[in-house]
Structure 1
Amino acid sequence: MTTFTFARTDNSVVGRWWWTVDRWAILALTVLIVMGMVLTLAASPAVAERIHVDPFHFVRRQVIFLVPSVIVMFGISLMSPEQVRRFAALAFLGALAALAATLVIGAEIKGSRRWIGVGALSVQPSEFVKPTFVVVSGWLLAERQRHPGFPGGILSAGAYLVVVAILLMQPDFGQTMLLSMMWGVQLFVAGLPIVIVLALAAAGTVGAVGAYFLLPHVASRIDRFLNPEAGDNYQTERAFDAFVSGGVWGRGPGEGTVKRILPDAHTDFIFAVAGEEFGMVACLVLVGIFAFIVLRLLSRLFKENDPFVLYAGVGLVAQFGLQAFINIGVNLNLLPAKGMTLPFISYGGSSMVALAFGMGMLLALTRSRPGVGGFGGYR
């Protein structure tokens, strides 16, 4: 029986990729994707039955999205940092145009225009704006460091304000907050003067207060979180009950009940399904995998001398980690409801493919590049 492997002397594109990519991160992502399929299989049939479609409707669609997502992630991870920069710049312009188009041709769902129909599919452009924006922002901030006269910080802020303005017009306050936190992490790592950081933090605070008073759905969510008796907290309360019901080891595969009553059991609240059917142990394993990926990739990034790789990579790691943190926090009733998916676990085509875009770029940026150092050009 022969074993498929690559020799260290293999100079093919795939051979070089195999010996330079972070294989531990790939293994952890693979485990995460497999767990996501298992949980989709556990949570989605009950949801499908409620809306009178085939029980495995969502499972099949998730597999359909998973195949191109894996191909996209692998293909992008083969790129050099320069190719990642160029790809992200073009993708950002396309995603930004699609994001603006939602205000005109987007379908209105629950009072927001966030989706564009593409044939039989619906695409959420904001999912693709997030990873491409932080890479473009990382490039601008890196150019500012390489060439002190280059207005990289101003251009990065301008791109941020354009994206946020469109998101708030949809409106999508959850994605706005996530994007703001991702950008804030980038600015912190880029070493912007403390005065600017404090000014941005103050602006964010003012924006959050303004959203509370100007956007009724934001105020409603915050009020319900701070005072559960002030409104309907059905989903978050049932999700918390699911963790209590599951205990340490869970009720067993297929034995959960929360998926039969939660409308978003296969998307925003799939972590609650994991807690009820597989218990606290499985939830801690999931959290541990997310933490491992974040810390593993950060450890590689902080060894980088190339500012573009560092700033863009940190932004992508921040998106992955913060999105997981927010989703889990909402499921545990520690944060107000945000409508945020759990990366590679929740059902969702746009989310899956967009995360593959982001992780593909991150794997490409964290590949070993012997002989590359300092603040030279991209390679």
Structure 2
Amino acid sequence: MPGYSRSDDSALGRWWRNVDRTTLICAFILIGFGYILMMAASPAVAVRIGASRNMFIFKQMMFLAIAGVIVTGVSTLSRKAVLRLSLLGGALMLGATALTLVHGIEIKGARRWIALPLMSLQPSEFLKPCFAVVTGWLLTQRRLSKYFPGMLIAFALFGVILMLLKSQPDIGMLTVITTVFMTQLFVDGLSLVLVGVGVACMIGAGISAFFLFPHVRSRVERFMHPGVGDHYQIDTALRAFGNGGLTGRGPGEGRVKDLLPDAHADFVFAVAGEEYGMIVCMLIILVFGVIVVRTLLRLIREDDPFVVISVTGLVTGFGLQAFVNMASTLHLIPTKGMTLPFISYGGSSAMSIALAVGMVLALTRHQPGSRTQIGNGFMTTLRQWRPA
């Protein structure tokens, strides 16, 4: 395009040359799938609850439009601005997550949402990308001075988040954030022995959750023993994939959306399988895979540890969330109420995922001198309070 040639020295031209255009395009492809599948899945759900047929469509169109703006806008930020956004946003969302325990909306026994006009906000969704970036900064900056306890602060922050999410309870989000944190510690150079200890602790926590939380125990038992309990949703989803076959029954011809209460949210992948078939499902998986693999490949050439650790955490959370949704819909793992990024219904999910992808694009964008600016800015502050 002549408007974005190498001779174009405008801010927009420089952004377009340096941003990962493949990942950006893949993000908007997923947003496009979100529009299409919301029009397919949500009208039947809206009618079933007595709402306007197009209620979910109009709301999700607004959420996805905002998500597109967030992806593009955040991707233009400098690395220093991404860090500041994460510090401020993380502090606000940490406070909001604590607020849910007092004034949150209770749904199915969990307090995870705050009521806002037109939507319910789930603060922990936004806490996830902010935590990844802040942790990346803490783990990096601790190497610049022995006076800065970055590792200790990172563990303390994780401990606070752990207690808040356990109290809601939101075991799924806690699992994702724990995996993100463990992955970042591994990339930062944690020894294999301590990695093994961390994995053992996660396994122990999972076993404890099985005994402490009835809904976790119920989901695991239904997964391990198909003849026990209610399997209506997962059986219906699997039949939908079978009915769709290779090419699907056609747009609007699916039946799973008339049968499942969460067809527009947790089981939207089953709607895609029935109406558009295995080919489109594989295309969706491919797009997710391209974003994850391409981002990791870009990190191989990156020499800024802040970027490497932060983006590793961001892309781990993104990829894990997509995997959990699709795998649980296909009954490869126990069911978990986790949205499919950009495709499932939900304002908090769409905008928080957009924030994460925008941060990935901003941090992996070529920005000469940005590593020095972040390091020098911190060290200048450090020297102001460091004892003589």
TM tier relative to shorter chain: over 0.9
Aligned position for 2:338 = 340
Partner-residue secondary structure (3-state), 2:326: helix
- In the alignment, the residues of structure 2 paired with residue 372 and residue 151 of structure 1 have an alpha-carbon distance, to the nearest angstrom, of 23
Query: Pick from 227, 235, 238: which aligns with 1:237?
Result: 235
Aligned position for 1:143 = 141
Task: Find out whether 1:260 has 2:258 as its counterpart.
Answer: yes
- In the alignment, the residues of structure 2 paired with residue 240 and residue 144 of structure 1 have an alpha-carbon distance, to the nearest angstrom, of 49
Aligned position for 2:177 = 179
- In the alignment, the residues of structure 1 paired with residue 319 and residue 144 of structure 2 have an alpha-carbon distance, to the nearest angstrom, of 28
C-alpha distance after superposition, 1:116-170 (max 9, x if no partner): 0123421011100101001101111111233355322221111111111100100
TM-score computed with the length of structure 2 as normaliser: 0.93
Task: Find out whether 1:114 has 2:112 as its counterpart.
Answer: yes
C-alpha distance after superposition, 1:154-201 (max 9, x if no partner): 211111111111001000111111111111111111111223222222
Q: Displacement, 1:227?
A: 0.7
Partner-residue secondary structure (3-state), 2:45: helix
Instruction: Say what the alpha-carbon RMSD is for the aligned residues.
Output: 1.7
- In the alignment, the residues of structure 2 paired with residue 215 and residue 40 of structure 1 have an alpha-carbon distance, to the nearest angstrom, of 32
* One-letter identity of the residue aligned with 1:355: I
Task: Find out whether 1:77 has 2:75 as its counterpart.
Answer: yes
Partner-residue secondary structure (3-state), 1:290: helix
Task: Find out whether 1:309 has 2:319 as its counterpart.
Answer: no
**Is the contact between residue 248 and residue 279 of structure 1 (CA under 8 Å) also seen in structure 2?**
yes
Partner-residue secondary structure (3-state), 2:153: helix
Alignment of 1:1-379 (within 5 A): 5-148=3-146, 150-370=148-368, 377=375
Partner-residue secondary structure (3-state), 2:301: coil
Partner-residue secondary structure (3-state), 2:4: coil
* One-letter identity of the residue aligned with 2:350: M
Q: Displacement, 1:376?
A: 7.4
Q: Displacement, 1:202?
A: 1.9
- In the alignment, the residues of structure 1 paired with residue 199 and residue 376 of structure 2 have an alpha-carbon distance, to the nearest angstrom, of 32
Q: Displacement, 1:203?
A: 1.7
- In the alignment, the residues of structure 1 paired with residue 69 and residue 267 of structure 2 have an alpha-carbon distance, to the nearest angstrom, of 27
C-alpha distance after superposition, 1:301-332 (max 9, x if no partner): 22111010000001111011110000000010
- In the alignment, the residues of structure 1 paired with residue 2 and residue 75 of structure 2 have an alpha-carbon distance, to the nearest angstrom, of 20
**Is the contact between residue 78 and residue 367 of structure 2 (CA under 8 Å) also seen in structure 1?**
no
Q: Displacement, 1:371?
A: 6.3
Partner-residue secondary structure (3-state), 1:150: coil
- In the alignment, the residues of structure 2 paired with residue 158 and residue 198 of structure 1 have an alpha-carbon distance, to the nearest angstrom, of 21
- In the alignment, the residues of structure 1 paired with residue 376 and residue 318 of structure 2 have an alpha-carbon distance, to the nearest angstrom, of 24
Which range is displaced more, 368-377 or 3-12?
A: 368-377
User: Against the structure 1 CA distance between its residues 14 and 375, is the aligned structure 2 distance closer, same or farther, given a 3 Å change threshold?
Assistant: closer
- In the alignment, the residues of structure 2 paired with residue 131 and residue 8 of structure 1 have an alpha-carbon distance, to the nearest angstrom, of 32
Q: Displacement, 1:242?
A: 0.7
Partner-residue secondary structure (3-state), 1:377: helix
- In the alignment, the residues of structure 2 paired with residue 88 and residue 292 of structure 1 have an alpha-carbon distance, to the nearest angstrom, of 25
Which range is displaced more, 185-194 or 212-221?
A: 185-194
- In the alignment, the residues of structure 2 paired with residue 151 and residue 166 of structure 1 have an alpha-carbon distance, to the nearest angstrom, of 23
Structure 1 residue runs of 5 or longer lacking an equivalent are none
Taking every aligned residue pair, what percent have the same amino acid on both sides?
A: 47
State the number of aligned residues. 377
TM-score computed with the length of structure 1 as normaliser: 0.96
* One-letter identity of the residue aligned with 1:258: V
Q: Displacement, 1:378?
A: 7.5
* One-letter identity of the residue aligned with 1:330: S
Partner-residue secondary structure (3-state), 1:232: coil
Partner-residue secondary structure (3-state), 1:122: strand
